[in-house]
């Protein structure tokens, strides 16, 4: 997958680092490296403190959808596009999701099937009413990926490997769980803080006459204006005037995600939560466990996930405890998919649309 381009803020960061020993990680040293003016140093210190607060502020649904939509389009582009037939005719019609006339083509039927399976699962999640969208990426790589706001993608290569709907449901539920658990926010919030600080250093550097930073001043001005509104809690996430800030955050998020992915614990927890969601919807967890077990280790398959053997072992341990509990429990103990013997749940055949696409 292609890396995101260097962002404006990253350039500013590099320039600041060169100017003031950024790499040492010492804020005081960084500040003194950027500016010799006491006034600028005080302003910069205050700005850095504001940046830290950005990482503590909760993300609104509008923010999540703006960033998530941008990130999703990066995944689509890097996955070679979506398996869908775009209607021809008035481009404005594309903006009306509820009324857009969709052609009844095999690719659209496949996407339709995926959305029925996915939305049925998501309806039982902890965020049933956000706008869940499921799509198939053209690439033959075996992968699945989510973006904030409810975007879930699986690849054509993955669909070729799944043997039944239970396995597909497990994959989708794993990704749904990343969204419901807001796993991306760990990376995203840090991205916001770091980019904010980069801009603050850049702004201070401009004041001090740094020539490299000055050439980015016009762009940085628009972003700083949006950033000030964000810090003040009044940024309009639906106003296109703030597009540059969304681009800054999204591109850096994509870069960081591709660099390291989610944490191991986040992936294992998504496996557990995914199994619970799939089982709550009536699918056997065996389908997903077996599918993960077929993934070749050490290749670009679920690139940042723990090794398949580790995931399978963790899921089997969990399911083993569940089975033991279900055998020793008694009526009157709690409900939940995990209080039942999940081995009785069905392995459902793939629907015609997917079977045909394979």
Partner 1 sequence: MRRAGMALGLLLVGGGAWALTMGDRVYIRGRNVAVLQSAAPDATTLVKLQPGDAVVWRGADKKKPAWHKVEASGKSGFVYYANLSDRPPATELVISTEGAKKLDQQSFASSGAAGKGVAPLAEAYARQPEKNKGDIRPTMAEVLRQLQTTEAIAAQRTDAQLAAQAARIAGAAQ
Subset of 73-112 contacting partner 1 (CB under 8 A): 73, 76-77, 80-82, 84-87, 91, 94-98, 100, 102, 108, 111-112
E strands, 45-200, in order: 133-137, 144-147, 151-155
Q: Does 7 bind partner 1 (CB under 8 A)?
A: no
Site string for partner 1, 17-56 (x = CB under 8 A): ----------------------------------------
Distance CA 131, CA 163 (A): 28
Cβ neighbors of 60 (< 8 A, separation 6 or more) are 237
Q: How far is the CB of 208 from partner 1 (least distance, A)?
A: 28
Tell me the residue length of the chain: 358
Site string for partner 1, 320-339 (x = CB under 8 A): -xx-xxxxxxxxxxxxxxxx
Q: What does the DSSP 8-state code read for residue 161?
A: H
Within 112-151, the residues that bind partner 1 by CB under 8 A are 112, 115-117, 119-120, 123-135, 149
Residue 57: phi, psi to the nearest 5?
-70, 135
Q: What does the DSSP 8-state code read for residue 132?
A: -
Of 188, 237, 262, 291, the residue at the interface with partner 1 (CB under 8 A) is 237
Distance CA 32, CA 36 (A): 6
Q: How far is the CB of 290 from partner 1 (least distance, A)?
A: 17
Distance CA 73, CA 96 (A): 18
C-beta closer to partner 1: residue 44 or 71: 71
Of 22, 253, 262, 283, the residue at the interface with partner 1 (CB under 8 A) is 283
The size of the interface with partner 1 (CB under 8 A), counted in residues, is 97
Order of all β-strands in the sheet with 133-137: 133-137, 151-155, 144-147
Of 33, 69, 170, 285, the residue at the interface with partner 1 (CB under 8 A) is 69
Q: Which two tokens stand for residue 11?
A: 């350039």
Q: Which two tokens stand for residue 228?
A: 């000030």
Q: How far is the CB of 336 from partner 1 (least distance, A)?
A: 5
Q: Pick from 216, 214, 220, 208: which is nearest to 20 by CA?
A: 208
Within 296-325, the residues that bind partner 1 by CB under 8 A are 318, 321-322, 324-325
Q: What does the DSSP 8-state code read for residue 119?
A: H
Site string for partner 1, 167-206 (x = CB under 8 A): -------------x--------------------------
């Amino acid at each position: 997958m292609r890396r995101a381009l260097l962002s404006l803020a990253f350039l500013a960061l590099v320039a600041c680092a060169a100017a003031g020993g950024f790499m040492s990680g010492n804020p005081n040293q960084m500040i003194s490296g950027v500016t010799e003016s006491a006034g600028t140093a005080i302003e910069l210190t205050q700005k850095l403190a504001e940046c830290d607060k950005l990482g503590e502020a909760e993300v609104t649904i509008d923010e999540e959808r703006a960033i998530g939509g941008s990130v999703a389009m990066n995944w689509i582009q890097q996955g070679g596009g979506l398996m869908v037939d775009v209607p021809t005719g008035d481009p404005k019609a594309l903006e009306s999701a509820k009324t857009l006339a969709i052609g009844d083509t095999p690719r659209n039927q496949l996407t339709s099937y995926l959305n029925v399976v996915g939305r049925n699962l998501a309806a039982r999640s902890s965020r049933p009413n956000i706008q869940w969208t499921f799509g198939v990426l053209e690439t033959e790589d075996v992968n699945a990926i989510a973006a904030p706001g409810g975007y879930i993608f699986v690849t054509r290569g993955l669909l070729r490997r799944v043997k039944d709907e239970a396995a597909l449901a497990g994959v989708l539920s794993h990704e749904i769980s990343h969204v419901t658990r807001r796993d991306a926010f760990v990376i995203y919030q840090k991205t916001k803080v770091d980019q904010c600080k980069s801009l603050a250093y850049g702004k201070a550097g401009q004041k001090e006459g740094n020539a490299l930073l000055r050439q980015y001043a016009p762009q940085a001005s628009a972003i700083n204006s949006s950033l000030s509104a964000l810090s003040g809690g009044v940024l309009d996430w639906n106003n296109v005037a703030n597009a540059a800030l969304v681009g800054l955050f999204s591109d850096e998020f994509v870069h960081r995600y591709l660099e390291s992915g989610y944490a191991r614990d986040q992936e294992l927890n998504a496996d557990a939560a995914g199994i619970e969601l799939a089982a709550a919807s009536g699918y056997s967890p065996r389908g997903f466990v077996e599918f993960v077990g077929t993934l070749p280790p050490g290749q670009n398959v679920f690139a940042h996930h723990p090794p398949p053997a580790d995931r399978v072992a963790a899921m089997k341990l969990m399911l083993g405890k569940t089975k033991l509990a279900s055998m020793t429990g008694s009526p009157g103990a709690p409900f939940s998919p995990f209080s039942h013997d999940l081995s009785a749940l069905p392995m459902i055949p793939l629907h015609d649309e997917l079977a045909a696409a394979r």
